[in-house]
Amino acid sequence: MEKIEISSDTTVAATPSVLPAKIERIQLSNLSYDQFFRNFMQPNRAVVVEGIANDWECFRRWIDRSVVPPKLNVPYLKQKLANVPVPVADCGRQHYNSHEKLELPLYDFFQSWENDDTESNRNRYYLKDWHLRSECAGYEFYRTPSLFASDWLNEYLVEQAADDYRFVYIGPKGTWTAFHADVFGSYSWSVNIFGRKRWYLLPPGEERKLLNSLRNLPFSVTGQTLRDAGVTFFTIEQGPGEAIFVPTGWYHQVTNVEDAISVNHNWFNGCNVATIWSNLRDALADVRREIDDCRDMDNFEKHCQVMLKASFGMDYADFLAIVLYVCDKRLASLGKDVGQVKQIDGYVLGKQHAQFDVVTIRNLLHETIEKGFLDDYPDMRKAAASCLNKILLTSRAL
């Protein structure tokens, strides 16, 4: 198993430097996990990593490169994949702040690619948010890059056999994803295995320059509208085999400037979990304000949590379950002095990385209890306090 390790378990993040003139590009062979951890994850800086997918099965086999130009190898994919319903966005129809969603049989979606039918719905339909990895668990068409292997969200969800945040995107030229920041305020990584994408990427806070009189953000942006609003932004042209690391809170819009296929994950870990927790608390405050006139109803806080999960995608119980699960795994490893914690895709965390995670969770739980963030939820507060006590006892024994 491949170990991912850091040089120190300190939780003090590097101070973000002045924004560079452009997003840095680095060859995978020139970037260690520790460098990525210290220079990009902790300070929340974007980066493009080149040469990251060369050995992936999907990179080698999903594309027919015997023809010019290369194209999707539909016959091969039909051999590997069943004709299951897949989620498709209609980029010609807006539904609130996203594109209209529908389901199509996979082979129907492939039909236009196979026939090169540019006059049909091919240039509107974007297969996206497809959980192919979990739906075909035995088909290892890629491996999570080691840089992104510290992933509390998918570690918990995959090991609990729950829904995950690992996706495949297949879109023809001209399909696009609307202006947004990622779910929960998570990190995301996106690896192109075919074609090219154009990204508009905004550092945190720059999106506020785009708010309208109703405090709403635009559905779509262009380079010109961003410049007109005085927004600091980066334009990235992403080619095959390149990964983009999108940090927490960086709004973005992505367009397929060629037929394109990518593998994407959303995730969080010890570097941004405090931000996820802050975002979750802010979302709960919004819910409480929305239904404040119902505050005297029975089980008001329970109803708030139901609405929080519906709007944010996660409630307090979900978040705490992930944090406590991650903590128990790290403590079990450190208590046995093994110093390695199994991750998805055959990685293990080194001892210092496990210690970093535990210290991060200790600090988060201490602040949560001290500031009363769980006072309205006694059972969750008790579970958090129990975990914190376990951390302190284990720390004394080490």
**pLDDT, tens only, 277-327:** 999 999 999 999 999 998 888 899 999 999 999 999 999 999 999 999 999
What is the rounded distance in angstroms from the CA atom of residue 28 to the CA atom of residue 42?
A: 19
Q: Grade residue 398 by pLDDT with cuts at 50, 70 and 90.
A: low
DSSP state letters, 25-42? EEEGGG--HHHHIIIIIT
Query: Domain limits at 192?
Result: 3-267
Same domain, 244 and 350: no
| 196 plus 294 within the same structural domain | no
| Overall average pLDDT of the 135-156 stretch | 96
Quick one: tokens of 125? Answer: 């339909």
Mark whether 290 and 344 lie in a shared domain.
yes
The residue-averaged pLDDT of 145-156 equals: 97
Residues 193 and 335 both lie in one domain: no
Does one domain contain both 300 and 227?
no
Question: Of the residues 267, 293, 325, which one is the last residue of a structural domain?
Answer: 267
Same domain for 93 and 190, yes or no, is yes
172-203: pLDDT as tens digits? 999 999 999 999 999 999 999 999 999 999 99
Amino acid at 300: F
161 and 80 Cβ atoms separated by less than 8 Å: no
Could you give the CA distance from residue 266 to residue 87 in angstroms, rounded to a whole number? 17
Q: Are residues 217 and 298 in the same domain?
A: no
* Residues 173, 208 within the same domain: yes
Please tell me the total count of domains within the chain. 2
- What are the two backbone dihedrals, phi and then psi, of residue 183, each rounded to the nearest 5 degrees? -50, 135
Query: By C-alpha distance, which of 159, 158, 169, 221 is closest to 193?
Result: 169
Token digits for 145?
A: 């890059």
Residue 217 pLDDT > 90 = yes
Confidence of residue 11 (pLDDT cuts 50, 70, 90): low
Confidence of residue 365 (pLDDT cuts 50, 70, 90): very high
208 and 315 share a domain?
Answer: no
**Are 263 and 280 within one domain?**
no
Task: Assess whether pLDDT exceeds 80 at residue 224.
Answer: yes
Report residue 339: phi and psi, to 5°. Answer: 75, 10
Under DSSP, is residue 321 helix (H, G, I), strand (E, B) or coil? Answer: helix
Q: Answer whether the bond into residue 69 is a cis peptide, omega within 30°.
A: yes
pLDDT of residue 13: 58
The side-by-side arrangement of strands in the sheet containing 2-4 is 2-4, 347-349, 341-342
Residue 321 shares a structural domain with residue 289:
yes
In the predicted model, is pLDDT for residue 387 greater than 60? yes
Asked if 200 and 235 touch (Cβ cutoff 8 Å), the reply is: yes
116, pLDDT greater than 60: no
Assess whether 9 and 143 both reside in one domain: yes
The mean predicted confidence, pLDDT, of the chain is 93
Residue 126: which H helix or E strand, with range?
strand 125-130
Do the strands 234-238 and 25-27 form a parallel or antiparallel pair, or are they unpaired? unpaired
